[in-house]
Chain A
Amino acid sequence: DQQVKQNSPSLSVQEGRISILNCDYTNSMFDYFLWYKKYPAEGPTFLISISSIKDKNEDGRFTVFLNKSAKHLSLHIVPSQPGDSAVYFCAASLTQGGSEKLVFGKGMKLTVNP
């Protein structure tokens, strides 16, 4: 049972345009949602997070939107740059007894064309 889903395996956009990455989840108990970026042969790098009680968080070119009623979140990258080309993972955080566990989607490959 996949609790975090990234339904699109890939996305290609032109440099300077907006990239929108989507993620759906099923478990209402998640307390945070996070986006990670991953290059080949490297570990995931934290990008941005949002608390389940918020609906928007912005950090520079990156904005994450959360729609709790739809159990949906999205990452907007504006403007997109070729260096943003990577695999992006959506993750949901579940904290129980002080221990945090991340549940990841399967990732989406973003290609930003110059």
Chain B
Amino acid sequence: KAGVTQTPRYLIKTRGQQVTLSCSPISGHRSVSWYQQTPGQGLQFLFEYFSETQRNKGNFPGRFSGRQFSNSRSEMNVSTLELGDSALYLCASSLGHSPGYTFGSGTRLTVV
């Protein structure tokens, strides 16, 4: 079966711009989470969506937002980009029956 698909794989944006990242979970998975990976902070939880509702949120500023659609696909948006937002953004999906998630390959965002 197809895995978690994230688009685009790579993105370069300028400070102050906004960006939207997309994630298609594994078919049947209704829970989608987003994580940010940076060399200094490691993998950090952004938020989790289930049935189009945000159920959990990490400690990120309001510039980071997301949503989930009725087909479980999810988007993450970052507004007013800062240099420090450069990171690998990982999406993960789960059935919710067992611990852990299946991760996508990520979107590498570079802010210049």
A interface residues (Cβ-Cβ under 8 A, vs B): 31-32, 34, 36, 41-46, 49, 89, 91, 93, 96-107
| B42–A43 touching, CB < 8 Å | no
Residues of B within 8 A of A91 (CB): 43, 100
Task: List the count of A-B residue pairs having beta carbons below 8 Å apart.
Answer: 73
In the complex, 26 of the A-B residue pairs with CB atoms within 8 angstroms, ordered by the A residue number, are: A31-B99, A36-B100, A36-B103, A42-B105, A42-B106, A43-B4, A43-B103, A44-B43, A46-B100, A89-B42, A89-B43, A93-B100, A96-B56, A98-B55, A99-B55, A100-B48, A100-B56, A101-B48, A101-B56, A102-B43, A102-B45, A104-B42, A104-B44, A105-B42, A106-B42, A107-B42
Q: Is the interface of B mostly helix, strand, loop or mixed?
A: strand
The 4 closest A-B pairs by CB, nearest first: A43-B103, A99-B55, A32-B99, A106-B42
Residues of B within 8 A of A36 (CB): 100, 103
User: Would you give the shortest CB distance from B40 to chain A, in whole angstroms?
Assistant: 9
Given contacts A101-B48, A104-B42, contact A43 B99 (CB under 8 A): no
CB closest chain-A residue, reference B58: A101
Partner of B45, one of A42, A98, A101, A106: A101
